[in-house]
């Protein structure tokens, strides 16, 4: 990479760490460290929530998914606006008004200590695993492209985020997120404009070519439990997922607990309701435009340079044949794509349709050779060879202008740090408040809890970095993160739904949670064809049904505790 690009990346990392440490004032006690003394403005909280979602997984995995699978992934977020409205009138006033540090403290007040501890434990497991996956997204790409070891790549991403999070707490996390969100949006807009300029046909023709391959298809109204991305899985399964993520996941709850008031907490969530889908659509569009760009510029046969090197060394003759076929098919597809643009601009409708059929046939030939090359790479390396996470980085380094490539790489690192810092802070909060202070040291000074909190942040950072080294070849990382979450989210949401039902009792909540996790596990391993978004619905419904049955048959006793 050009020295100017490195200068931009290093300069931004130094600025972020310095800014985060500077923002650490006011963190003398645990309320300042975890909740910024409940003083953050709604717009800062909202941007921080958005920044946490827009991780490096989004910048790399979602754009790569747009290039290979098109726009239909955006259906995943169709339940988000509905979820935000529901949360604004239910869990947000409950949790913000209760004065708790974590969402799980509320469960002990409503039910009992074991329900609180089990739910908090499930959060720790799910969030720690997904945090590691978020680090792996940029780390694996940097490792393959720059030749660094995975450990070194992970350290470059993880160490700065852990440093300012340990020192500054949620105050530093939030204000760094605000700055980094500006960088990320700037990079997304700049790359989109650059792609439109670089593609040698009009934007209309470019989108028509993308549409011919199905990459502009947004809506799928089929009701099929095995199809991951449909309108119904997004609206129904996505609503349950978003309700759980924003309403019960400490990494998000902690943000709006730090807002000045209930109204400001609600307003912070509405930022995501309004802006998440358009922003996500633009990220996917970058991937689609990169796909169109590679219709006219030869793309690598294997986007993962490390796998390409291994295959070329181990099977030079076989790989050479594939490269020859690929070069010929690429040239034919290039001519066919240009013919489509020409026919649409100057030909008849029939000529345009005929040119499109030829283009589709040539694209199918290219896809066939790519599939064979990926299978060969999997045999040679002994690893899954899904290179969707390498498509955008290869484009950025090979074709973006000097300076803009550095800006995009800095944005990827910024996005990773946003998600990591927020999640580490929430992992530390749950560990200290729900376990250490609840079961080990109920009474101690603020200074003691602050030291323990910083140590917990560092330990979770080390754990996440270890997980990152094992998550590097799991396919589209945006899917991996959401699969991790969907295994737990529905059941956790079910417990909070029970908490708002007056007749639900502690025994029902605890048994229901275990039942929900058991049923989701059985579906996940026994019926793997069921799309993971539906796991959220299955888990929540199971917890509520089992919890209410157990509550009804359990021995009548003391009425449920006051929810405040």
CB 540 within 8 A of CB 241: no
Instruction: Check whether 564 has a pLDDT greater than 50.
Output: no
Domain ranges of the chain: 3-294+397-466, 305-385
CB 165 within 8 A of CB 421: yes
What is the fold, at CATH topology level, of the domain defined by 3-294+397-466? Sodium/glucose cotransporter (1.20.1730)
Q: Read off the pTM.
A: 0.81
Structure token digits, residue 363: 């694209």
Instruction: Check whether 563 has a pLDDT greater than 50.
Output: no
Count of C-beta atoms within a 10 Å radius of residue 364 = 12
Average pLDDT over residues 268-297: 88
Partner residues linked to 40 by β-bridges: 259
**Cα(360)–Cα(343) distance, rounded to whole angstroms?**
15
Q: How far is CA 216 from CA 26, 69, 193, 197, in A?
A: 48, 9, 18, 20
**Among candidate residues 537, 492, 489, 536, the one with its CA nearest the CA of residue 513:** 492
- Please indicate whether residue 90 or residue 545 has the higher confidence score (pLDDT): 545
The DSSP secondary structure of 126-173, one letter per residue, reads: HHHHHHHHHHHHHHHHHHHHH---HHHHHHHHHHHHHHHHHHHHHHHH
**pLDDT computed for residue 131 by the predictor:** 81
Q: Where are the alpha helices (DSSP H) in 1-112?
A: 3-22, 30-35, 42-53, 56, 63-69, 80-89, 91-98, 103-110
CB 427 within 8 A of CB 128: yes
**pLDDT computed for residue 481 by the predictor:** 59
pLDDT in tens, 152-164: 888 888 888 888 8
Report residue 473's pLDDT band, with 50, 70 and 90 as the boundaries.
low
**pLDDT computed for residue 558 by the predictor:** 47
**pLDDT computed for residue 77 by the predictor:** 86
Contacts of 225 (CB under 8 A, 6+ apart): 529, 530, 531, 534
CB 366 within 8 A of CB 377: no
Average pLDDT over residues 280-308: 89
**pLDDT computed for residue 479 by the predictor:** 56
**Among candidate residues 477, 506, 434, the one with its CA nearest the CA of residue 122:** 434
The DSSP secondary structure of 406-464, one letter per residue, reads: HHHHHHHHHHHHHHHHHHHHHHHHIIIIIIIIIII-SS--HHHHHHHHHHHHHHHHHHH
**pLDDT computed for residue 164 by the predictor:** 85
**Using alpha carbons only, what angle is made at residue 78 by residues 76 and 79, rounded to the nearest 5 degrees?**
100
Q: What is the 3-state secondary structure (H, E, C) of 95-129?
A: HHHHCCCCHHHHHHHHCCHHHHHHHHHHHHHHHHH
pLDDT in tens, 512-547: 999 999 999 999 888 877 888 788 899 999 999 999
**Cα(408)–Cα(496) distance, rounded to whole angstroms?**
39
**Cα(523)–Cα(553) distance, rounded to whole angstroms?**
27
Contacts of 76 (CB under 8 A, 6+ apart): 229, 233, 234, 238, 482, 533
CA count, 13 A, side-chain hemisphere, 200: 11
Q: Name the average pLDDT for the chain.
A: 86
**Cα(100)–Cα(27) distance, rounded to whole angstroms?**
17
**Cα(238)–Cα(486) distance, rounded to whole angstroms?**
10
């Amino acid at each position: 990479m050009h020295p100017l690009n490195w200068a931009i990346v290093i300069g931004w990392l130094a600025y972020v760490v310095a800014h985060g440490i500077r923002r650490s004032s006011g963190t003398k006690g645990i309320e300042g460290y975890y909740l910024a003394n409940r003083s953050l403005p709604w717009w800062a909280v909202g941007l921080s929530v958005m920044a946490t979602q827009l991780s490096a997984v989004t910048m790399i995995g979602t754009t790569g998914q747009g290039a290979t699978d098109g726009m239909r992934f955006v259906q995943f977020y169709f339940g988000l606006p509905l979820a935000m409205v529901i949360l604004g009138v239910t869990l947000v006033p409950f949790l913000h008004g209760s004065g708790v540090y974590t969402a799980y403290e509320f469960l002990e007040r409503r039910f009992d200590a074991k329900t609180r501890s089990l739910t908090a434990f499930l959060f720790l497991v799910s969030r720690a695993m997904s945090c590691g996956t978020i680090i792996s997204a940029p780390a694996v790409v940097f490792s393959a492209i720059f030749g660094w070891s995975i450990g070194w790549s992970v350290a470059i991403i993880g160490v700065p985020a852990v440093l300012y999070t340990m020192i500054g707490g949620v105050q530093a996390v939030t204000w760094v997120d605000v700055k980094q969100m500006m960088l990320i949006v700037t990079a997304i807009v700049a790359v989109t404009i650059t792609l439109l300029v670089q593609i040698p046909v009009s934007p209309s023709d470019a989108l028509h070519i993308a549409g011919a391959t199905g990459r502009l298809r947004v809506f799928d109204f089929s009701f099929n439990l095995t199809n991951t991305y449909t309108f119904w899985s997004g609206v129904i399964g996505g609503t349950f997922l978003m309700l759980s993520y924003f309403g019960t996941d400490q990494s998000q709850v902690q943000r709006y607990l730090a807002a000045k008031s209930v109204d400001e907490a609600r307003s912070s969530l509405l930022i995501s309701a309004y802006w998440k889908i358009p922003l996500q659509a633009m990220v996917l569009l970058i991937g689609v435009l990169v796909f169109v760009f590679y219709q006219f510029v030869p793309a690598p046969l294997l986007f993962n340079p490390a796998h390409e090197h291994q295959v070329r060394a181990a099977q030079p003759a076989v790989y050479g044949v594939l490269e020859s076929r690929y070069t010929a098919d690429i040239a034919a597809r290039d001519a066919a794509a240009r013919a489509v643009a020409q026919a649409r601009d100057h030909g008849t409708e029939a000529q345009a349709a005929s040119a499109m059929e030829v283009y589709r046939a040539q694209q199918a030939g290219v896809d066939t050779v790519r599939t064979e090359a990926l299978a060969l790479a999997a045999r040679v390396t002994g690893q899954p060879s899904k290179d969707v996470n390498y498509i955008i980085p290869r484009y950025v380094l090979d074709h973006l202008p000097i300076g803009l490539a550095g800006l995009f790489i800095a944005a990827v690192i910024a996005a990773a740090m946003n998600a990591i810092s927020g999640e580490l802070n929430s992992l530390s909060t749950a560990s200290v408040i729900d376990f250490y202070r609840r079961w080990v040291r109920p009474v101690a000074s603020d200074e003691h809890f602050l030291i323990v909190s910083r140590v917990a942040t560092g330990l979770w950072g080390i754990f996440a970095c270890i997980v990152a080294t094992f998550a590097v070849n799991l396919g589209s990382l945006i899917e991996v993160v959401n699969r991790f979450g969907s295994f737990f989210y529905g059941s956790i949401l079910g417990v909070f739904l029970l908490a708002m039902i007056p007749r639900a009792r502690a025994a029902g909540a605890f048994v229901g949670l275990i039942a929900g996790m058991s049923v989701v596990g059985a579906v996940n391993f026994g019926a793997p064809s069921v799309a993971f978004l539906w796991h959220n619905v299955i888990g929540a419904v199971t917890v509520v049904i089992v919890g209410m049955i157990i509550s009804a048959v359990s021995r009548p006793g003391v009425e449920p505790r006051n929810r405040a």
